[in-house]
Structure 1
Amino acid sequence: MIKLGQYNTLRITRFTDHGAYLDGGTVGEILMPKTYVERSMRPGDEVEVFVYLDQSERLVGTLETPLARVGDFAFLKVAWVNEYGAFLDWGLMKDLFVPFREQKMPMQQGRSYLVHVHVDPETQRIVASAKVERYLQPARPTDYHRGQEVEVIVQQKTPLGFKVVADNRCAGLIYDNQIFEAEPHAGDVLSATVVNVRPDGKLDLSLQRIGKGRFRDFADQLLHELQQAGGRLPFTDRSAPEDIQQRFGVSKKTFKRAVGTLYKKHEIILTDDAIMVANR
């Protein structure tokens, strides 16, 4: 079964001038445009592709790394707006649509917003919503314990501290007196520790102190490790999750997000078998 807005491992059935066609099972063949076809690929090979809808609303597979997947909360920049809504840059050829009804206030080109990415049940298209609260789940005491490390994305500053989305699923708050280093900014992806699970299902959190060799953002850590390794690491967004966890101590999702962030900043180059520091 094809998972829209997710990575799928699919078999190549044939090649044409347009690219490679992949076996999509009950949905039929899925085109992987020729831009992503590698010389070594052969019919019968399996490739891991991100599946989404192109400009003509056809299923396509891409080897590009999106900045978010269906089910994710992400901080994305508005590429352009029109009479129907806003369109966000999420690292793919086709921008991500945010209907006006899913905006808290009219989005502005060039500004970034925290959104939730999902499949619209009516249109079956991948869309985003800035009304993220409706997609948050309550945290339960059985899910988290004091001192547990969680990944958070900063939403906004409040009089008490910083609202965040924790663990890609629940609301949290980092109080001002729990920030021991530089003040975070909206959109930062950080490592925090659980202080308390509140009765209302939200998490009280603390930013970890950053000691020697610790980084607030894994993208910074990855760039540092690339530089320490001579500018090249034999990892890609198709590396095995267990290899990524063993080498970097993070999930494949966190790794891909960092790769996407650095790539969009033109700080790294992606090859078939490695990531490299960009020469400036």
Structure 2
Amino acid sequence: MQKVSMWVFGLCACLLASAGTAQEAWTVQLTSKQAKAHAEQAGRKAVTAFAISPDGAWGRSHGFQDADQAAKRAMSFCQGELRPRKRDCILFEVAGKRVTPQIVQTRKVSAVYQPLNGRKAAFVFGRAALDFRGNKDGAMAQLATAPTQPSALAQDNKLRAGLTNRTIMTTQAKGFGLWLGDVYAEHLVSTNNGVLVVGFDSWAVTAQGLLCMFNGFWDSGKPVGTKCVLLNSIGNGLVDLSWDGSPNASRKGQLIAGDARFSAAK
């Protein structure tokens, strides 16, 4: 199972009024609060990253073993602090090295997505074009075998390719999401205190529409085991699905064309 040895620390966003065109040159310079946050990043273990906006927002991460993941998390936290018509974030530093030139072109954002807002996710990432119709009786028969590992299911490679690196999530402002990576999967649930996450080390999907995620653990380390959903249909980016515990209760969702686990801006 993929392990993350840290969680990102807090952000501060000091959003100042900005004027100018949607695209404009910016001579990169940290604000006093960005500089203070950047200085606090020094000496952190493993791979770090720092992202900034010309209008004052910033985000940082540390403890990663992978530079891409550290950068993505820092950008996510920075963009999550933006507002429409503010200038977008850029990566300032990764693994202790500055990665941005002295002068960059900036753009104003029109929308900001924060997990797990399904309405904003569809606007920022777009919905994926995938057509699929499941076989509920067949999927239920497969579920009845109580699969505990991917090899227990006859995986449909075409359907898997259409779901990989995308997010199945509800359409409302708060709900749940299923992130399906190349190997790893996550089940995310919105709560009043933030987003709860269950990580799974693998997943599989069949031609009948049974999607199972295996060897799951909460962030606390508490095991979850296998979690399955029945994909009844997918069309025009909209998903009809049922959870394994209530297969006859249909739920409406959407297939987001991107990784909706993190904040983003458009």
Same fold flag (TM > 0.5): no
TM-score of the aligned structures, taking structure 1 as reference length: 0.26
TM-score of the aligned structures, taking structure 2 as reference length: 0.27
